[in-house]
Structure 1
Amino acid sequence: MKRLGIFLAIAFAGVAVYVAAFSATVRYRLTLEAEVDGRPKIGSGVIEVTYSKNNDPISQAEFSIDVRGEAVVLDLGSRGTLFALLKGDSDSRSGPEYIVLRAFDFPGGALPSPVVSGLRQVQRLSGKRELRLTSLPLLVRFRDLNDPMTVEKVDPLNLEKSFGPGVKLTRATLEIVPAGIWPLSWIGITGEPITKNIDDKLSWLKGIGGRYLHGGSSARGAPLELDSGDFRKG
């Protein structure tokens, strides 16, 4: 029994060392600030991204990416609700996996080569950064929160077009938060929790599973070609 315990401890430590050497997890809080008729409104969410060295000899990709979290929700009161999705806008580096790299001035907003060196840089990230409003993830709203087919794209520089006069997006920030250290997370020692409350706003989201907003498996006819993964991952 004692030998088994020693073996498991060694194996556990080996896996932990491998994970630390060939992957990097960063957890960040994305915060959006707006004004409605001069009154401040704030919404934020915690998102986690794990970058891992790709050891598949068949794949040409240098690394793989896993995202966990939800769209950031900004409640504008009677004017409606703004969502910052887990999806890039026209800027290809505005998705959740790249926005953090751009915020901390990684060249081109990408993980640099060699991959292992880039992973070490990600592991050392800390602090808070201002984001350009034009580099945010895709922003949307629903004319009717109960109807996924009423989704519309929102211009970050012109919220009045979607929400009426007196509404504007004033600031966006990204802050690194504690993510917990694997394998301690296995026994409940974790950092700031990933946000999990979007169902409070979009009650239909769980029902569509991994499908598009119209409920089908094809993007044909889907508003903005959005699926449930653009609102929640992991």
Structure 2
Amino acid sequence: MKILKWAGPVVLLAAIVIGDQIRINRPAHKYRLAVEVDTPEGVKYASGVVSVHPYRGYQPGGKTTSRGDAVIVDLGGGKNLAALMLHDDKGYADFDGANFVAMRAYQAAGRKIAFRDVGNQTGAVPVTGELMPILASFTDTRDASAVRRLKPDDLSSLGQGTKLRSVTVEAVPNGLWPIDFGGSLGQPVTRTIAAKIPWSHSDADAGRALMAVGFSEAVEPARAFTRK
């Protein structure tokens, strides 16, 4: 009987704790970043879903974060194009750009929205100019230093006739987070980079890769490839 007496309060406390954790960790929105590349063999495409999480904790100084992977387009013949989770802020590595690229792209497309409104948007909009993530290509995905940075308007090093067709972003539903496993439950965050770039989780290897593309002092460089 004593167990039954405490069962109700324990269940209620558990529900409060779980509910608060969901409130703290639930994404503000998710977005799909899609990359299309024109090649002599036709259009190559890849995309990934990223979730964006504002800080809702109880300690001051928290920051907005995101979860997801860089997008890698397989161009065939051992060639690839990667859109990293990294932006260029006047020569400095900007990791926060991935948190706000959806909002800024919708704003650049003429929609006067705030951060809280991103999840209500529909349709894809272009990612251009300063909103463009760092583009890179790996000549050997097993070697972190075998990477070069690419300009959006010049993919000639990937072969004649290879051009960037578009980079777009589109808000997607949060779904029934945290059990958003796909289908009616909601689109899950994309997790594919580990199979393509085995060292992507390593700060040491990621640091070498970012040095190769021009960023020598990036903090936690693995965030350019994957974020948990």
TM range (shorter): 0.7 to 0.9
Name the structure 2 match of 1:169: 164
| Match for residue 122 of structure 2 among 115, 124, 127 | 127
Task: Output the amino acid matched with 2:33.
Answer: L
Name the structure 2 match of 1:66: 65
Q: Hey, what's the Cα distance between the residues in 1 that align with 2:191 and 2:172?
A: 16
| Match for residue 210 of structure 1 among 192, 195, 203 | 203
Gaps of 5+ in 1: 113-117
Q: Hey, what's the Cα distance between the residues in 2 that align with 1:4 and 1:198?
A: 44
Name the structure 2 match of 1:52: 55
State TM-score, norm by structure 2. 0.75
Q: Hey, what's the Cα distance between the residues in 1 that align with 2:155 and 2:54?
A: 33
Corresponding residue SS for 1:104? helix
Deviation at 1:2, TM superposition (A): 5.9
Task: Output the amino acid matched with 1:229.
Answer: R
Identity %: 26
Task: Output the amino acid matched with 1:40.
Answer: V
Q: Hey, what's the Cα distance between the residues in 1 that align with 2:186 and 2:207?
A: 36
Task: Output the amino acid matched with 1:153.
Answer: R
Deviation at 1:181, TM superposition (A): 3.6
Alignment of 1:16 onto 2:11? no
Task: Output the amino acid matched with 1:66.
Answer: T
Name the structure 2 match of 1:115: none
Q: Hey, what's the Cα distance between the residues in 2 that align with 1:228 and 1:183?
A: 24
Deviation at 1:196, TM superposition (A): 1.2
Aligned residues between the structures:
213
Corresponding residue SS for 1:224? coil
Q: Hey, what's the Cα distance between the residues in 1 that align with 2:214 and 2:100?
A: 21
Task: Output the amino acid matched with 2:165.
Answer: T
* Correspondences of 1:124-203 after superposition (within 5 Å): 124-134=119-129, 135-160=131-156, 162-182=157-177, 190-203=185-198
Corresponding residue SS for 1:105? helix
C-alpha spacing 1:166/1:196, structure 2 compared with 1 (3 Å): same
Q: Hey, what's the Cα distance between the residues in 2 that align with 1:211 and 1:104?
A: 35
C-alpha spacing 1:89/1:38, structure 2 compared with 1 (3 Å): farther
Q: Hey, what's the Cα distance between the residues in 1 that align with 2:123 and 2:224?
A: 24
C-alpha spacing 1:105/1:4, structure 2 compared with 1 (3 Å): farther
Gaps of 5+ in 2: none
Q: Hey, what's the Cα distance between the residues in 2 that align with 1:69 and 1:127?
A: 20
C-alpha spacing 1:211/1:173, structure 2 compared with 1 (3 Å): same
